Amino acid sequence: MFKKLIKESTGKSPWLFHINAGSCNGCDIELVSVLTPRYDAERLGFQLTGSPRHADIVVVTGPVTAQSLDRVLRTISQVPEPRCIVTMGSCPQSGNVFRGSYAIAGPLSKYVHVDVDVAGCTPKPEAVIDGLVLATKILEEKRGQMK
Amino acid sequence: MTLILEALRYLVYVLIFPGFLFCFLTGLLLCGIDRKLVARMQKRVGPPILQPFYDFFKLCGKETIIPAAASKTTFLLAPLVGLAALVVIQLFIPVFRFSAFSNVADIIVILYLLLIPALSVILGGAASGSPYAGVGLSREMVTILSCELPLVLVLLAVAKTVGQALGLGLCFSLTKIVEYQMEYGSLILKLSMLPAAAAFLLIIPGETGSHPFDAAEAETEICEGPLAEYSGAPLGVYKLSHAIKILTMTSLFVALFFGGVGRGLENLVMMLGVSGGLAGALIFLLEILVLFLFCVVLTFLCISVVHAVTARLRIEQLFKYYWTVVTGLALISLVLAWYGL
Amino acid sequence: MDFPFLKEAVNGLFSESSCDMYPVKPSEAAPRYRGRIVYHPDKCINCMMCERVCSGNAITHSIEKTEEGDRVTRTFYLGSCTFCATCADFCNHGAIEFTGDYHMIATKEEDLMVTGTFIKKPPVKKAAPPKPAAPAAAAPKAEEKPEAKTEEKPAEAAPAIQPRDDGKPVQDASKCVYCTICARKCPAGALTVDRAAKTWTLDEDLCVGCGTCAEACPKKCIII
């Protein structure tokens, strides 16, 4: 019963951590707008945390520059299990317009398993909510498989 | 036999009523109400009221990472020390006439115990070996330092007022303070106590580390400070302690300044014509309910509204604010009480 | 200390929230929002203009030779798309469309692929083109065709030229000022225009019939 309680709670309280891996700031602004009164993701339990150790969902924006790659991977590895990695915007999925640049180490999926991709440049806040809700479901599944 | 019964009674106290279970439920509920109210004030829908429960259970199910630089035992035990201290404080705070432990100097004990949760945060932060925690714990230290002086003055003023009236000099027993109020009316009605009550209201957000006095746990600048390295269940315990602290501070306020309300409740039950054991039970339930309502109102006033309309203060602004404005209010009260007004 | 937002906060407590309630209440994208790409392979002529202008290299194609013709599969990878709609702007046949569907959520890369396949028939009728120019001259076409085009201007100035039936451009020499814009715009490099000699030459093997030249012509003297 306790396990079920934990599993259900996991789905209701996903905390976000946002990594900017060289983003143009467009996706960053849209992610923050998801938490504003208009979209208010907090009513679904989403909360932006300051430390990766508190997070459940890691949102990566930006094309993962060569400079940020090491930091991104180190930050992601600090997130406790069960965790979910969401890429936001086209950049972390493929490099977008920066693809092929000497300064880009992406796409992110080369290095870690990405659970959810939210496409768009930048995605609408509604699309971000969609992606996060899907990530929450994956998170709950992962929690169910633990222990 | 009586010894066993006595032990059982205390066990119930510690684990269920004013102790752990009660703290757990009401604390998290207050925290949820606070979050909902803040959201409503910002014209948001806000999280469900049970959100802190979800958060807590989720954190219980997360992996606990112990950083390589941390000293493991201290890192894991520090949150429990803070939680235990808060539960013990709750045992000392009377729910109107009911009090689990009563002592000649409750207030002094509470004063000491109130330091322990803050110290446990400092301890845990220091043990985690993170520079963010280092910055955070130094700020936490300044915060408790600045809250402690006005808090002591407020408690002294109350103790002096009640002590003078009872002919004891200084009365440090919370039970006596509440009983005095039951007899002669709540202290909030006394003119000399108004500044002290105002000062205490201003101490509540500082002591619980909520906006705008949360420089120690500023999540946007120093990654939640001392909690930066915590994950999983220990983090959940810290969040729980934070929630219980809201309950502790607000119920302490009720005990200090609104003790007389208990009398009114007793009269109410009498008027309804209930007597005997049933009356006792009814009074008891009513008292808990009224205490909870008071806690909600105080949470709204001191934590939610303040959270919704202010931005975070810098640590030296916080210090200055507490040692000038709040201490000043408490001092006025103390001086008035000393001259028996 | 003063609290400038105290009034708003208390008002907010008693007024309705300004939330959109998104997942509960579906929300439409704004008009002309550029969301998921819809590709119409039946309209596509495989001119590759979209691939050339795509800044994110999101558009790729593969060609498979079959007996009916080239089987062209064009793929749009939304995960690399900037949604700038330059490809749709450059597509003269309207084969690329941006819709208001913003739900581009995927757990696998394939979910973000938009593909379309069509068969491009080889230019079969090589004999047909010179029809408008010289109906009598139906002899050796291989060398004659470029010639026929250039000879058009003195011969048939007055009558309006007719479009070719294979979708390739025809020049109206009476209006042409040989500005070379069409040659510069041609994605396939099939046009050669010599200003001095006043010639306009089409390499039919290179031409994909995209219509960019007709679009770009300031005198509107190219007909598709």
- Cα distances (Å, whole numbers) of residue B135 to A51, B53, B217, B223, C92: 14, 29, 10, 10, 61
The 3-class secondary structure across C59-117, one letter per residue, is EEEEEEECCCCEEEEEEEEHHHCCCCCHHHHHCCCCCEEECCCCCCEECCHHHHEEEEE
A32 interface with B at CB cutoff 8 Å? no
Please give the pLDDT value at position A58: 92
CA angle B262, B266, B268 (to 5 degrees): 115
- Residues of chain B found within 8 Å of residue A78, distances taken between Cβ atoms: 65
C15 interface with B at CB cutoff 8 Å? yes
Flag if A13 and B54 touch (Cβ within 8 Å). Answer: yes
Highest mean pLDDT range out of B78-92, B273-287, C3-17, C169-183?
B78-92
Please give the pLDDT value at position B88: 86
The 3-class secondary structure across chain C, one letter per residue, is CCCCCHHHHHHHHHCCCCCCCCCCCCCCCCCCCCCCEEECCCCCCCCCHHHHHCCCCCEEEEEEECCCCEEEEEEEEHHHCCCCCHHHHHCCCCCEEECCCCCCEECCHHHHEEEEEEEECCCCCCCCCCCCCCCCCCCCHHHHHHHHHHHHHHHCCCCCCCCCCCCCCEECCCCCCCCCHHHHHCCCCCEEEECCCCEEEECCCCCCCCCHHHHHCCCCCEEC
pLDDT tens sequence across B168-215: 777 788 888 887 887 777 777 777 788 888 888 888 888 888 878 887
Residue C161 CA to residue C183 CA, distance in Å, equals 20
Q: Is the pLDDT of residue C157 over 70?
A: no
Please give the pLDDT value at position C1: 58
CATH class of A13-142: alpha beta
CA-based torsion, B102, B103, B108, B109: positive or negative: negative
Q: How far is B220 from chain A (nearest CA, A)?
A: 6
Structure tokens at B260: 């007389």
List the domains of chain C with CATH numbers. 26-120 (3.30.70.3270), 141-223 (3.30.70.3270)
Domain assignment present for B19: no
Q: What is the ipTM of this complex?
A: 0.88
How many percent of chain C have pLDDT more than 70?
79
B138 interface with A at CB cutoff 8 Å? no
The label of the residue with tokens 């002590």 reads B163
Residue C184 CA to residue C189 CA, distance in Å, equals 8
Flag if C79 and A94 touch (Cβ within 8 Å). Answer: yes
Q: Is the pLDDT of residue B233 over 70?
A: yes
Q: How many domains does chain B have?
A: 1
- Residues of chain B found within 8 Å of residue C5, distances taken between Cβ atoms: 308-309
Q: What is the pTM for the complete model shown?
A: 0.78
Range of the domain at B214: 64-227+245-338
* Partner residue facing A45 (CB), from B51, B218, B223: B51
pLDDT tens sequence across C35-75: 888 888 888 888 787 888 888 888 888 888 887 778 888 88
CA angle C180, C186, C187 (to 5 degrees): 150
* Partner residue facing C29 (CB), from A118, A124, A130: A124
Task: For residue C131, name the pLDDT band (cuts at 50, 70, 90).
Answer: very low
Please give the pLDDT value at position C148: 43
